[in-house]
Amino acid sequence: MLRYLTAGESHGKAVVAIMEGFPAGLKVDIARINKELKRRQSGFGRGRRMRIENDRAEITSGLKKNITLGSPITLFIKNKDASIEKLHKVFAARPGHADLAGLLKYGFTDIREVLERASARSTAATVALGALCKELLREFGITVTSRVLSVGGESSGRQMTEKIKEAISRKDTVGGVFEVVAKKVPVGLGSYVQADRRLDSRLAASVISIPGIKSFEIGLGLGYSVSFGSEVHDAIYFNKGNGYSRKSNNAGGIEGGVSNGQEIVLRACMKPIATLMNPLDSVNIRSKKSAKAAIERSDVCVVESAGVVAESACALVLADAFLEKFGSDSLADIRKAYVNYKDRIAHA
């Protein structure tokens, strides 16, 4: 079972992640991990921070000659803007952010002490961990990708760009919807026997935990609510050459909490960023008088980046479920178990 923790503040010295349970014997391509970190920083609508940071992961434990040892892996991403001790205090909470709830929860007197960790800067660690998991999944032909479906209700590339430009001109922000697709996922990952082992619930938790994500669906999703069962369930067919098959994938690759061998398809909505350059009404936490919400350096639209983070979050879940199914100590042993399982399924 994979276990991991992340640490670090937005303007602290670094963002750090530690993963335990990763198998021995996998050759890791550091360049591919850094490429994923670069993708997280890309996309029209990102802010000035992305021009300051050039995220690169340093792996400080768990590898020898870039091959995993089976021991905990530590990923270290240095912050160039490590100014946490010098930054001004913040007293007017931003609606839509963790500012006020976090302040009241922990008893702080400076919102800065909330926003430094609540910042989406922490997703750099998620992407680094997910990129590592993609290295493992790639060994078995499994890929995880994402694409933007809409921004501000617009779905064509030109219209989405214009919507972001409009938000910039209004000193506003805009959200949207992205889709993640996992291909070549074998049948049998996850389980229906307990709620916390269901693959769909694990994927949902991983994606909804990304800062700013407010809705999630798998396959047809809300489309099920306006259809008859005969119209939406994926009929099953069989022939000796190809085994079981479907002509549709409304289930999004998961039935009863278990992967069914089809592509896993999920979508999520990223809300507009909470920091507005033309801020909403708020309250000064010291004087309790009306004030405009704080303005922090921020983005205008991060839907594309959120999709990249969601890829990594899903890769973490899929890698965990894969190791749960096929073992987790040695890559060579996992390969043997996988081949034997595929052979059995082929003759089922």
**Structure confidence by residue, pLDDT tens digits, 47-61:** 665 566 689 999 999
pLDDT, tens digit (0-9, with 9 covering 90-100), for 218-254 = 999 999 999 999 999 999 999 988 899 999 999 999 9
194: left (phi over 0), alpha (psi -120 to 50) or beta: beta
- Region 320-346: mean pLDDT is 96
Torsion of CA 61, 66, 70, 75, to 10 degrees: 40
Among 43-57, 80-94, 204-218, 311-325, name the one with the lowest average pLDDT.
Answer: 43-57
Number of domains in the chain: 1
Residue 348: its pLDDT value, please?
81
- Region 199-222: mean pLDDT is 97
CATH of the domain at 295: 3.60.150.10
Residue 346: its pLDDT value, please?
87
Under 8 Å between Cβ of 211 and 184: no
Residue 48: its pLDDT value, please?
62
Q: Answer yes or no: is pLDDT of 329 > 90.
A: yes
Residue 50: its pLDDT value, please?
57
Give the range of the structural domain holding residue 336, as residue numbers without chain letter. Answer: 3-346
pLDDT, tens digit (0-9, with 9 covering 90-100), for 92-150 = 999 999 999 999 999 999 999 999 999 999 999 999 999 999 999 999 999 999 999 99
Q: Answer yes or no: is pLDDT of 298 > 90.
A: no
